[in-house]
Structure 1
């Protein structure tokens, strides 16, 4: 078990949210060194300061979060398929929360690109690094707004209130969701999806820090 080293957060995300300059000092590790603050902890492990899934189960925080900035690094193998779930209203239902995509951009759909809000909004720009290299996310949730800064570029700026119909995106394209995204919970646990897809290829996360916003 390893403690995670502190890191510096992107100023741009702080400006968007009006967070204080002391943000980094107030940030905390998302998961404890012994995963005591996690659900499904037995399905994941720390390996040299990196979180690695043992199987397909999602690792969830026991705490619920509403307004926050989440900072993390991820690395994928060839054919990896994972994601970061935000503020889930039901951890048994993967369609009950926004999922920020984590894989190697082999989905073939713009709504499945890395950094996309799965099946809802593609990133403005492909900032993904090749399999085996570390990528960086700063994800901000404040009310109905979700912002994703990916490897230094803001690629998602979404207001969930724009999704007013179930099964349909604002541009008229269909999605898989059973409720309008405006009705998604604004409070809930954060999750890291486990080994997913046919390949069951590994994915690694590290430097996971969270700053709670008012």
Structure 2
């Protein structure tokens, strides 16, 4: 057995695999910029977006752009929330919470600009989404294809004909709703 391991290590040298990039350091907003209202704070390793009575729009954009990537994060919300993860620009998003236009939860579904809206709905989200608790989302953006998993289960694969080649990642607070959403363990792995 030891001889097989030795032979394998000689024939196939170790390939260094980079760990996913922690794009949120848990202590501050370094590497991010706010567009809109200043609703973002950090405490005890958690990034919190909380709007006020003005209910303004706010997006927290990564300063870095990404081409093909996997973004993973934990999120938690309670009550009415309309948030999401922008992928490479403001017209391509994976929804978190209630759609303002459709008045129902469309978590993990793609929102593709105002003309397309929600072209496809994620499956099984109602059973997987944990209310008032941490949920894990994984989004693989490879070319024009978005594959989304919620709490370890793939819920959608969508091909967008309007996907950009590269761009930043954004976290949204939708205008018109007083809400709070929290994120932690946010990483990006370039493919």
After TM superposition, is the score higher than 0.5? yes
| Residues in 2 aligned to 1:188 and 1:144: alpha-carbon distance in whole angstroms | 13
**Shift in Å, 1:69:** 0.7
The residue number in structure 2 matching 1:169 is none
**Shift in Å, 1:77:** 1.5
Aligned CA RMSD, in angstroms, stands at 2.5
Q: Spell out structure 1 runs of 4+ moving beyond 6 A.
A: none
| Residues in 1 aligned to 2:20 and 2:140: alpha-carbon distance in whole angstroms | 13
Q: Give the TM-score normalised by structure 2.
A: 0.75
**Shift in Å, 1:198:** 3.9
The residue number in structure 2 matching 1:155 is 155
- Could you list the per-position Cα deviations for residues 57-116 of structure 1 after superposition, in whole angstroms to 9, with x for gaps in the alignment? 11000111111111101111101111111111xxxxx4x2x2111116897568x61110
Tell me how many residue pairs correspond in the alignment.
Answer: 162
| Residues in 1 aligned to 2:175 and 2:131: alpha-carbon distance in whole angstroms | 16
Is residue 77 from structure 1 mapped to residue 55 from structure 2 by the alignment? no
1:58 and 1:192 in contact (8 A); partners too:
yes
1:78 and 1:104 in contact (8 A); partners too:
no
2:122 and 2:156 in contact (8 A); partners too:
yes
- Could you list the per-position Cα deviations for residues 155-203 of structure 1 after superposition, in whole angstroms to 9, with x for gaps in the alignment? 111122xxxxxxxxxxxxxxxxxxxxx1331211100002x35441101
The residue number in structure 2 matching 1:186 is 165
The residue number in structure 1 matching 2:96 is 102
- Where structure 2 has 5 or more consecutive residues not aligned to the other structure, the ranges are 1-14, 52-56, 112-117
Q: Which has the higher strand share?
A: 2
**Shift in Å, 1:54:** 4.1
Residue among 154, 168, 180 paired with 1:202 = 180
After TM superposition, the structure 1 = structure 2 runs for residues 53-132 of structure 1, keeping only pairs within 5 Å, are 53-55=49-51, 56-88=57-89, 94=90, 96=91, 98-103=92-97, 113-118=106-111, 119-126=118-125, 127-132=127-132
